[in-house]
Structure 1
Amino acid sequence: MSTHPQRFEILLVPEHVEGHDAAHLEDFAIRSAVVEATGEIGASGYPRYVGEGMEADIDPETRAVEALLVDGAELDYGLSARIR
């Protein structure tokens, strides 16, 4: 039985807001999605999460997005994915 979280919310924010408090990232997000665990391990070696057009490999311990596809494409330059 997995002890990994089954759901995360990913926020896509412009890189220039990286210094802002994580609790306020939603104010700057250009897109968000709730992703749920698939039970698979992604190419990065971390659990795979999918939902609302996003597919992500997330390290559940550090809450870092290790790999991300948005609508089947890599993240545009100038954007950052953050977990809320």
Structure 2
Amino acid sequence: MTPASHPAPDRYTVVLRPGPPGVQDAKGHDAVVRTARVEATGATGVSGYPRYEGEGVQAEIDPESRAVEAVTVDGEELPYGWTAQLADDDPGRRRT
């Protein structure tokens, strides 16, 4: 499926973690450094996926696989080893 062939939700919640998914903090919880609610800009990014922005986070998100691409936070690339993913309980809202 091509990036443009899958409808893109209006918004997502991006979760930033200090390492690969499953890394836990000292209390045994999945470590989360920051979350951001991002909204569709209407633009397509260099990856070919819709561009989203909000709360200092800019990202291109594949609506089919939910992969988060080309992420910047407060205008900077993610620190080495950090990951960005979508919140598990946030399917996004489909455009009508």
User: Could you tell me the TM-score, scaled by structure 2's length?
Assistant: 0.73
Identical-pair percentage? 53
Q: CA RMSD in A?
A: 1.8
Unaligned 5+ segments in structure 2 are: 1-5, 24-28, 88-96
Q: Do residues 3 (structure 1) and 29 (structure 2) align?
A: no
Of 2-11 and 35-44, the range deviating more from structure 2: 2-11
Alignment-derived partner of residue 72 in structure 2: 69
Unaligned 5+ segments in structure 1 are: 21-25
Larger radius of gyration: 2
CA distance in 1: counterparts of 2:57 and 2:69, whole angstroms: 13
Alignment-derived partner of residue 23 in structure 1: none
Moved >6 Å (runs of 4+): none
Aligned positions, number: 77
| Aligned-partner SS, 2:16 | strand
The structure richer in strand per residue is 1
CA distance in 2: counterparts of 1:59 and 1:11, whole angstroms: 15
The Cα of 1:27 is off from its aligned counterpart by 4.7
CA distance in 2: counterparts of 1:83 and 1:54, whole angstroms: 12
Q: Deviations over 1:31-55 (max 9, x none)?
A: 1100000110011111000000000
The structure richer in helix per residue is 1
Amino acid across the alignment from 2:19: E
Amino acid across the alignment from 1:55: Q
